[in-house]
Amino acid sequence: MRVLITGGAGFIGQHVASRLRDHGHGVVAIDLLLPQVHSDPEGAMLRFPGDVIRADVADEQAWTGLPLFDAVVHLAAETGTAQSMYERERYERANVEGSRLAARAAARAGVPIVSLSSRAVYGEGLRAEDGSLRASHEDDPHSPVSFYGETKSRAEGVLVDEVRGAASAVIIRPQNVIGLGQALHNPYTGVLAAFLARLREGRPLSIYGDGTQTRDFVHVADVAELIAWNLEHPPRLAEPRILNCGTGNRTSLTELAEYAAAASPAGTSVIEYVDVHRSGDIDHACADLGRLRALGAPLPIRTTSDAVADFIVGSWRGDVASSQLWDDALDELDARGLVDGP
Ligand SMILES: NC(=O)c1ccc[n+]([C@@H]2O[C@H](COP(=O)([O-])OP(=O)(O)OC[C@H]3O[C@@H](n4cnc5c(N)ncnc54)[C@H](O)[C@@H]3O)[C@@H](O)[C@H]2O)c1
C-alpha cells in the first residue's frame, strides 16, 4: 500500500512511517516543516523513509500533482493548546481547512483516510454521580475548553461530511502522546520536553498547579500501531469509525515528574509547584478503551513510566532548547491575559 501521510515529518508521523515501511508499505509525506516544530527541517526530511513534499495542507495547491496513493493518514495540524487561544486564524486554517482538503483528496481518490483528532474535543474530564473521575467515551458530547479542541471537534465533522459515501474514515482521538522524537524546541506542547530541559540544566521540575491534575500518557509506538491497524482494517464506507487512544490509566503530573526524575541520567531532581493556571488547560483526562477492546484493535502494550524513560534517556543528548523558552512562553501568555494566578 502507498500511504500519503500529512504532517509525516512530525513526531507521530515519523513513527507511523517507520511502522508502515517495516510492514512493506510505501510512504510519502506532505509537511510544511513548521519552524516552531522543526529546529532541523533537513534532518526531519532525511529521517522520513520516503519523499517529503513541502506544502501547506490548507492550500488547495498542495493537493494537485501528487503521486498515486492508496490511503491517507492525516496528521498535519497546529498543536499548541495555549497558543491556539490567541492564534485562532492560524489554528482554524491548518486544522479545519487542512482536514477538509485531506478528506476531499481521499474521497476523490476513493481511498481510506485515518485522521488524528484529539482528546481535547471532550474538554474537562467528566465525573460520575459519586464525584469520582470518569474516563471519556467516544460517544460523550464534545465540550472543548481550548480553541485547539474546538478546531479538532469541527475538523471531525468536516471530515465525515467530505468523505460521505466516497471513502472510509477513521478518526482517532489520542490522549497525551509521548516518546522519542517529540519536539524539543516547541514550548507550546508537551510538558515532558520542559522537564527534560530542566533536568539537563539542574533546575527544579516546574508544574503549573498543584500536580494532582491527571492525564493519560500513551507511548507513540502504540499510537502508530493503532493507526496502522486501522489502515489495514478499514471500516465500511457508510460507517465512519471514531476511536479513543490512550492507556486507560491516569497519571498525575507529580507522578509524571517523578518518572522523569527517576529516568534522568543526572540523578534525582526537585519538583516545584507554580500557582498558575493557563487558559485552555484542563484538570483531568483519561481514555475509555471499551470500544477498542470490542473492535479487537491493538491495545497499548507500553506503560507510561517506560514511555517517559524512553523519552528522557533517548533525548538526553539531543538538541534540547533552553528551559527559558518555556518560561518565556508562560510570560507571553500572561501578557495576553491568559494566565490566572497570584
Ligand atoms: N502529540 C500528542 O500528544 C497528540 C495528542 C492528540 C492529538 N495529536 C494530533 O496528532 C497529530 C500529529 O501530532 P504530532 O504530535 O506529531 O505533532 P508535530 O507538531 O510533531 O507534527 C505535526 C506536523 O505537521 C506539520 N504541519 C503543521 N501544520 C501544517 C500544515 N498546515 N501543512 C502541512 N504540514 C503541517 C508540522 O510541520 C509537523 O511536522 C496532530 O493532528 C495532533 O493534533 C497529537
> Which residue, by CA, sits nearest to atom 9 of ligand 1?
116
Does 223 contact ligand 1 (Cβ within 6 A)? no
What is the distance between the alpha carbons of residues 48 and 6, in angstroms, rounded to a whole number?
Answer: 12
- For residue 125, the model assigns a pLDDT of 85
Per-residue model confidence as pLDDT tens digits over 305-326 = 999 999 999 999 998 999 999 9
For the Cβ of 224 lying below 6 angstroms from any atom of ligand 1, the answer is: no
- What CA–CA distance (Å, rounded) separates 39 from 322? 13
Residue 58 CB–ligand 1 contact under 6 Å: yes
Residue 176 confidence (pLDDT) above 90: yes
* Alpha-carbon gap, residue 98 to 60, rounded angstroms: 9
Q: What is the DSSP letter of 68?
A: P
Catalytic residue among 122, 148, 188, 259: 148
As a residue count, the chain comes to 342
**Res. 341 pLDDT band, cuts 50 70 90:** confident
Report the greatest alpha carbon distance in the chain: 56
pLDDT averaged over the chain?
A: 95
Task: Write down the pLDDT at residue 153.
Answer: 98
pLDDT for the residue numbered 279: 86
- What is the Cα–Cα distance from 308 to 317, expressed in whole angstroms? 15
Q: What pLDDT is attached to residue 270?
A: 93
- pLDDT of 297 over the 80 cut: yes
Strand partners, 5: 29, 73
DSSP codes of every residue in 266-278: T----EEEE--EE
- Please give the backbone phi and psi of residue 306, each rounded to the nearest 5 degrees, phi first: -65, -40
The confidence score (pLDDT) of residue 247 equals 98
Share of the chain above pLDDT 70, in %: 100
Q: What is the 3-state secondary structure (H, E, C) of 126-192?
A: EECCCCCEECECCCCCCCCCCHHHHHHHHHHHHHHHHHCCCCCEEEEEECEEECCCCCCCCCCCCHH
| Residue 273, beta-bridge partner list | 207
Q: What is the pLDDT of residue 267?
A: 82
Q: Cell numbers at residue 338, please?
A: 491568559
Helix (H) or strand (E) holding 252: strand 251-252
Which three cell numbers, joined as nine digits, stand for 95? 486544522
Ligand 1 centroid to Cα of residue 312, in Å, is 21
**Residue 188: its pLDDT value, please?**
79
Q: Are strands 271-274 and 133-134 parallel, antiparallel or unpaired?
A: unpaired
pLDDT of residue 14: 98
* pLDDT tens-digit series, residues 97-125: 999 999 999 999 999 999 999 999 999 98
pLDDT at 189 exceeding the cut of 80: no
Answer yes or no: is the C-beta of 122 below 6 A from any ligand 1 atom. no
- Taking CA atoms, 330 is separated from 30, 165, 294, in Å, by 31, 45, 42
Among residues 275, 285, 162, 146, the alpha carbon closest in space to that of 208 is found at: 275
Candidates 178, 220, 210; CA nearest to 195 is 178
Helix (H) or strand (E) holding 51: strand 51-53
Residues with Cβ within 8 Å of residue 119, at least 6 apart in sequence: 136, 173, 174, 175, 176, 216, 244, 246, 285, 287
User: Is pLDDT of 268 > 80?
Assistant: no
Q: Find residue 301's DSSP bridge partners.
A: none
Q: Is the pLDDT of residue 183 over 90?
A: no
Q: Which of 310, 283, 133 is nearest to 221 (CA)?
A: 310
Domains in the chain with CATH codes: 2-178+217-245 (3.40.50.720), 191-214+250-285+302-334 (3.90.25)
Residue 37 Cα, ligand 1 centroid: separation in angstroms? Answer: 9
Confidence of residue 42 (pLDDT cuts 50, 70, 90): very high
pLDDT, position 139: 97
How far apart, in whole angstroms, are the C-alpha atoms of residue 331 and residue 339?
Answer: 9
If you measure from the C-alpha of residue 342 to the centroid of ligand 1, how many angstroms do you get, rounded to a whole number? Answer: 33
Q: C-alpha angle 180/266/307, rounded to 5°?
A: 25
Q: What is the pLDDT of residue 317?
A: 93
The C-alpha cell at 6 is 500529512
176 CA from centroid of ligand 1 (Å): 13
Q: Select from 6, 28, 34, 72 the residue to mutate for testing ligand 1; criterion: most ligand atoms less than 8 Å from CB.
A: 34
Task: Return the pLDDT at 226.
Answer: 98
Report pLDDT digits (tens) over 195-236.
999 999 999 999 999 999 999 999 999 999 999 999 999 999
**Cell digits for 99?**
482536514
Residue 342 has pLDDT above 80, yes or no: no
User: Is 33's C-beta closer than 6 angstroms to any atom of ligand 1?
Assistant: yes
Which mutation among 31, 153, 170, 189 tests ligand 1's pocket best, with the greatest number of atoms within 8 A of CB? 31
pLDDT band per the 50, 70, 90 thresholds, residue 186: confident
**What confidence tens digit (pLDDT) does each residue in 60-87 have?**
999 999 999 999 999 999 999 989 999 9
Q: 16 alpha carbon to ligand 1 midpoint, in Å?
A: 12
192 lines ligand 1 (CB under 6 A): no
299 touches 293 (CB < 8 A): yes
pLDDT for 62 equals 97
148 noted as active-site residue: yes
- Tell whether ligand 1 has an atom less than 6 A from the beta carbon of residue 57: yes
